[in-house]
Each structure stands twice: as structure tokens, then as C-alpha cells.
A and B are shown apart, each in its own frame.
Chain A
């Protein structure tokens, strides 16, 4: 497969995953806002933006709410949902002949619907976010069922799960950074209050889980009793939940191993080692140890390792030096 094509498939998938993640997080927060009591809206949105990894200048924090709106539908904002979908579609357009017609049609349909929404006067944010989520899910389902699970599909998988590892780590990390909870020192009062429904803290943990589509799955594992340590364990270390960091890292490793087949050894083993180490770190992690030494720092390591996987993938398959390839 052409390196350029692999590159486009990888980014198409990353952008779409990013759009879906952003849409889900903002949608959850919009719902929570309805039940919130006092407090500045801007302060609230500043935290949400932070959890999405959006960097804000100091003076921007005062109008975070406006920024949040632009993050949904402003094409001038590069990280916005609309921009991500345009970028995903632009990447797909570059490799139109490599993806199935059904995939292209779905992505194109999603593109046209968000473009329409962008210009419509009567615009319903929640309806819009819902349609982005559904559109992205549909695209993933179509991809998995209409495209050969060959190298191109593995690049799509790699993109999707690398992006998911990064975005969930960023989200969980920022959440715990703002509410430092060491496992052994949760104040009794707080544990108590969390059980009372309608309590702001309770709502926020609920929001975190929902932002990862994890609330129902969490309840099945631990009942509706929301404890920070358990929430962290579920989102970071659960082996079978598709939005957990460990699950994503495992899928990323799996995809990376399948790429390039047997045909190539140059740099391949390094890439596999880096992706394998990321997965292994998470597989053997213990939540109490992680919480003691700091979840925040732990997730920073995960993010750094994701960066390494990305660069190794590029050096091995996409942007390799020609001299090295001719020598082989």
C-alpha cells in the first residue's frame, strides 16, 4: 500500500474519532449544565475545554463558553467538530479509491449534514451532537463490515485507537488533576455526599463515565456506587471495555503488529516493541499503586508513549528515508 494512502487513512480515522469524542463530551456537559446550581458558566466550560486538551490563553478563559460553541461548529477553529469532520472527509477524498463506496458515501453524508447545520439559523446543539455521534458510529460499523480487514483497515484501526488512548487519557487525567483523590484519604464526608443523588460531585463523576459511554458498563461491574478509585480503574485498566485506555492500547498494538505483514523488518520490531510496552504497562498496572504515585503522572507517561508509537509508525511505514529503503 502507498505510504501516502496509509497516512490519509490513519488521519481520516483519527479525525473522526476526535470529532466523536468531542461531540460526546460536550453533549454530556450540556446535559449536566441543566442540573447545575450556581457558579460561573465560563469557569465550568474552561474545565471542559481543558479536559478536551484545548489550550487556552489566559484571557480566553473569561469567555470559555463562547469558545465551547466555536469548538462545536466553527470552521475557523481547527479542533472543532466541524473542522475534524471536514479534515476526515478531505483525507478520505484523497484515498477515495481505497475505501469502500459505502464508507465514502456515509462520510460524505455526514460531511454534508454538518455543513448544513453550520449554516442553519435554527440550530439545535444537542440534536447536532447526537447526529455527529451516530454518524461516526455508523461509519465505523460500515468500515468494519464493508472493507477488507487488510493493511488499510489496520491503519484505520491504529488511528482510531491511538486517538482514543490519547483523548481518554487526557480527559481522565484532567478530571483527576482538578479533584486530587488519593485512594487512602478520601474524606468520609465526601464519600457520604457522593451517594446522594443530585450532589454536584456525584454528577461530575457521572459525567466523566458518560463521556466515555461507560456509565452503564460501570454499573454492571461495580453497581451505581460511584467511587473515584473504581471509576479510574474502570476507565484506565478495564480489559474489555472498548473506551478504556487499556483496551485501546491493546487494539493499537494489535493493529500495529498486522501492518506491513512479513514484507518488512526495517524498524518494524522497534515499532512493535514500543506499542507492546504501552499495552503491557497498562495490562500489569494496579490501580492502588497508580493512585498512590499519582494518576496524573501515570497518564502523562501513557500520553508520551502514544507519541512514541506515532513517530515510530511514521518512521517505519510512511516517512522513511529513501536511502535506507534502497539499501535493503
Chain B
């Protein structure tokens, strides 16, 4: 299907722009540039040849000098790479965005009610909407969270939901991230880059701002302060510089003006948490933790964790410190539970989901498992508790040996796997070797939930920079680009 363009050759630098069955963000089915992309298209055409590339190199250099890098695991420790950023923005119209916004607000509200319910009364389980064993066998279920009301019933205060666009143009949810979603700093940095590269186009298009994200995050964290604490001390807890998202932790702490702490900076005493400062110990009221549940407290969870704080969990249950996100949230973004989210939304909110799910097969179901294993080359198989593109098989791009390996794994532990049909993600124009070419993209908006729901317009558009690749994770050769939500359609 490659290379079907109903239009005569595109002018440079678009000469290599080929269309296929994927939904194209810039070009419609008739081969015409969509109206909301017109300004960017002409903006790029009007640049001198080589100018675009020169501006991109400047941006790359500034990324290197600012140390905007990420760490790749499984290589020499501390291997840093520049975060690959594509300079061409991905553009969404106002009405496309308002639908997404409504859908995301609905979803985070329902997931919060779900988490409160399963850790307390368990109504949804008694009513048989979600199978009890599905929840209790979830690797991220934390029995320590039973019968404990988190502050203001907010379990998910920061979410990053991955959306993809089907060939029909419809946005659907691919997965929820309600534990420690990352990438928001790249969203903010990418915006700085496009503003520098396309100042005129940016102004003419009328793009909704996103710069208030750090303030909104701070307000969300403040809202979670323990009862009676009017001026909370807030800290961001990071695993440290060797974490792949360390740049982001430092960036957010700086933008919010809060302390960036590591586990070794904190001590607990009498169920209060303190940080060690040059002027003595100082009490901490709210912790935006960017470390996984398992590592937060060696006394309550993994005893071998050196990243956490002994006694933190007791202080949390005593209500003397608030954690964002809450512990035990992993149940809500488990990929097997994901299949039930539409039902969860209907159950708690009595509404139909605004954003649909991708069709999902449970490997714990013998019938569905047999069907998928017989046609592995057609499906994407994912481990339910993993993220970041690890532990995944993409059927159409896999070798027979890889499929055999996954078949063995699925049969050994069916609860741990789900399968989804291979979906062709939509494509957006990217700058590749000096020419504009389409590449597959997804969209991760960030949702904040404190006293109210805040969603900054847009989010992080992730790109699979390798031709034909459908994997957008930065650990797997993906990059990012800015996302423009226009004021008008």
C-alpha cells in the first residue's frame, strides 16, 4: 500500500512524503493539506533550503548543553543520550481536543472511584463488574492500603494517558499510567524549541499555552496537604541521578520551587517525615514521589530497597504526610484491568465512555488465549504490569523465535499477559535527514487531579523515528515532538 499519493509530487522538502493506510495528521484522504496544518506547511516551504536543519541542530546543541538527556538501561551505567526531539509540531484542532479533554476527565474520575472502592468496600467486586481474582492477583495490588482513606480520596493525582489515533481518525485510549507517569518535562521543553524555530507560525496559528503546568502541579500537591496544614512543605522524591527520568525530576522541582530529595535525605521519627538540611531537620508534609511503590519503604515493601525511607508508610497511614500518587495505584493501570475500564466508567458515573478502548484479549481466558496464540503474528502481546515498551511482542514485526518465546511465557503465566490487534498509529510529518517524512505518533496528555481537574492542552506527542516502526518509547528509539492545540478549529 506504500506510496499511494493521489496528488502529484510534493515540493521540497516534502518530496519524500508518502501516504499509506495510516491516518495522516497533515494530509487528508484526498491528498490535500488539512486546513489546520496549512500555516505550518507554508511556513516550512518558505524556509531557505537547509535552514530547517540548521535550526534543528541549534536546538540539539542546546539540549546537550542544558543536559536534557535520558538514561538508557542495560548499557554502561549512566549512559546519557540527548532526548531526540523532532522540531515539527503536531497540531490538533480545538474540537478534537475538547473531546479528548472530556474523555480524560471522565476516565480519571472513574479510576479514582475504582481505587477507593477496591481498597475499601469493594462494591464493584461484589456486584461482579470486575472479577475479584483479577484485582487480587494484580502484581500491583497493595494489601497494605486496605481500609485506609487517602487524603480527599485522591488516589490518582497525576496521570499520563496514552492515546492513539485509529485509521478512521478516532482517538482511543491505549493505556493509562497512574503510578509514576513521566515525560511532561519533554512536553515543556519541546514547546520552547518550536517557539524558537517557528515563532511566526506559532503566533499566527493561535496555540493554547502549556507553561502553567508546573504551577498547576504545585496547586494539586498543595491541595493534598494533611489536614490542618495550611502552608505545606512539599518535596519531590527521586531515585537519584541514575534514574532515566532524573532530568525531569530536577526540572519539575526547579520549576515548582520545591526541594528535590532522595531517600537518604529523609528520616522518619514518631510517624513524621523530616528532611536533613544544613540547618537541622525540617518536616515534610507532601511528597510527590517518583519512585515505584515497591521501593518507597523497606519496612513495608521491598526490604532490599535503598531508595526509599524506612517508616514512610506508617507516617502515610497516620495521615502525617501525603503521597502523590497514592500507593497501590498499579491496579488501575494494569493492562488486564484496562479492558474493564469502560465498564468501570459506566458503573460509577452512569455515563458512556467518551474515549473508547482498544480491543483487548485476556490471556487468562482459555478461549481468547487459544485464538491469539494461533494467530500470534497478527497481535501485540504485552505483559500487564510493564511500561516503557519493555516486555512486549509486536506480532507483525517479530521473528518466529520471538513468537515461540512469547508463546512459552504466556502459557506459563497467562494472567500476566494481554493481546491487542496491531493498530496502525496515525502518522505526522517529521524532519528526517533534512526532508519531511511521515512517522507514527501517539499522544500522552497529562491530567492533574487535586481540588479540581486540570489538563494542559496537548501533551507529549511521541514519535517512532525509525521508518515503519510502531514503538514510540524513548527507550526503544522513539522521540518527542511538541503538540499544538489551536484556539480555533
Binding site for B on A (CB under 8 A): 1-4, 6, 90, 93-94, 96-97, 101, 104-105, 108-109, 112, 151, 259-261, 263-264, 266, 317-318, 320, 322, 325-326, 328
The interface stretch among B59-67, B152-160, B325-333, B368-376 is: B59-67
Find out whether the CB atom of B276 lies under 8 angstroms from the CB atom of A104: no
Find out whether the CB atom of B265 lies under 8 angstroms from the CB atom of A2: yes
Find out whether the CB atom of A326 lies under 8 angstroms from the CB atom of B276: no
**Complex CA distance for A109 and B62, rounded to whole angstroms:** 11
The interface stretch among B254-262, B301-309, B417-425 is: B254-262
What 0/1 readout, one digit per residue, does chain B (40-80) give for beta carbons within 8 Å of chain A?
00000000000000000000000011110000000000000
**Contact (A3, B277) CB under 8 Å given A105-B66, A108-B67:** yes
Shortest beta-carbon distance, B66 to chain A, in Å?
Answer: 6
What 0/1 readout, one digit per residue, does chain B (233-273) give for beta carbons within 8 Å of chain A?
00000001100000100110110000111101101010000
Find out whether the CB atom of A260 lies under 8 angstroms from the CB atom of B279: yes
Find out whether the CB atom of B67 lies under 8 angstroms from the CB atom of A93: yes
Q: Which residue of A lies closest to B80 (CB)?
A: A93
Shortest beta-carbon distance, B265 to chain A, in Å?
Answer: 5
B281 at the interface (CB under 8 A from A): yes
Query: Which residues of chain B are within 8 angstroms of A101 by Cβ–Cβ distance?
Result: 66
**Complex CA distance for A260 and B281, rounded to whole angstroms:** 13
Query: Which residues of chain B are within 8 angstroms of A326 by Cβ–Cβ distance?
Result: 269, 281
Find out whether the CB atom of B259 lies under 8 angstroms from the CB atom of A2: yes
Query: Which residues of chain A are within 8 angstroms of B250 by Cβ–Cβ distance?
Result: 96-97
Query: Which residues of chain A are within 8 angstroms of B367 by Cβ–Cβ distance?
Result: none
**Complex CA distance for A264 and B64, rounded to whole angstroms:** 40
Query: Which residues of chain B are within 8 angstroms of A3 by Cβ–Cβ distance?
Result: 265, 276-278
B163 at the interface (CB under 8 A from A): no
B3 at the interface (CB under 8 A from A): no
B280 contact from A104, A112, A328, Cβ within 8 A: A328
Find out whether the CB atom of A4 lies under 8 angstroms from the CB atom of B262: yes
Q: A96-B67, A108-B65 are in contact. List 19 more A-B contacts (CB 8 A).
A: A1-B278, A2-B265, A2-B275, A2-B278, A4-B265, A97-B250, A105-B65, A108-B66, A108-B67, A109-B65, A112-B64, A260-B279, A263-B280, A266-B280, A322-B267, A322-B276, A325-B276, A325-B280, A326-B269
**Contact (A261, B269) CB under 8 Å given A2-B261, A4-B264, A96-B250:** no
Find out whether the CB atom of A261 lies under 8 angstroms from the CB atom of B275: no
**Complex CA distance for A261 and B247, rounded to whole angstroms:** 30
Find out whether the CB atom of B276 lies under 8 angstroms from the CB atom of A4: yes
Write 20 A-B pairs (CB below 8 A) sorted by A numbering: A1-B277, A1-B278, A1-B279, A2-B261, A2-B276, A2-B278, A3-B277, A4-B264, A4-B265, A94-B241, A96-B254, A97-B250, A97-B251, A260-B278, A263-B280, A264-B279, A322-B267, A322-B269, A326-B281, A328-B280
Which residues of B, 410-462, contact A by the 8 Å Cβ criterion?
A: none
Shortest beta-carbon distance, B240 to chain A, in Å?
Answer: 8
Find out whether the CB atom of A93 lies under 8 angstroms from the CB atom of B265: no
Find out whether the CB atom of A104 lies under 8 angstroms from the CB atom of B241: no
- List the 8 closest pairs (A to B, CB-CB), nearest first: A263-B279, A97-B254, A317-B278, A97-B250, A96-B250, A105-B65, A3-B276, A264-B279
**Contact (A318, B281) CB under 8 Å given A97-B253, A105-B65:** no
Query: Which residues of chain A are within 8 angstroms of B269 by Cβ–Cβ distance?
Result: 322, 326
**Complex CA distance for A4 and B247, rounded to whole angstroms:** 18
Query: Which residues of chain A are within 8 angstroms of B278 by Cβ–Cβ distance?
Result: 1-3, 6, 151, 259-260, 264, 317-318
Find out whether the CB atom of B66 lies under 8 angstroms from the CB atom of A97: no
Query: Which residues of chain B are within 8 angstroms of A97 by Cβ–Cβ distance?
Result: 250-251, 253-254, 260
Shortest beta-carbon distance, A6 to chain B, in Å?
Answer: 5
Shortest beta-carbon distance, A154 to chain B, in Å?
Answer: 10
Query: Which residues of chain B are within 8 angstroms of A94 by Cβ–Cβ distance?
Result: 240-241
**Complex CA distance for A325 and B282, rounded to whole angstroms:** 10
A2 contact from B67, B267, B277, Cβ within 8 A: B277
**Complex CA distance for A325 and B64, rounded to whole angstroms:** 41
Shortest beta-carbon distance, A138 to chain B, in Å?
Answer: 13
**Complex CA distance for A109 and B260, rounded to whole angstroms:** 24
**Contact (A104, B66) CB under 8 Å given A2-B265, A4-B276, A96-B250:** yes
**Complex CA distance for A94 and B243, rounded to whole angstroms:** 11
Shortest beta-carbon distance, B124 to chain A, in Å?
Answer: 41
Q: Which residue of A lies closest to B258 (CB)?
A: A97
Shortest beta-carbon distance, B116 to chain A, in Å?
Answer: 34
Query: Which residues of chain B are within 8 angstroms of A318 by Cβ–Cβ distance?
Result: 278
Q: Which residue of B lies closest to A324 (CB)?
A: B280
Shortest beta-carbon distance, B290 to chain A, in Å?
Answer: 13
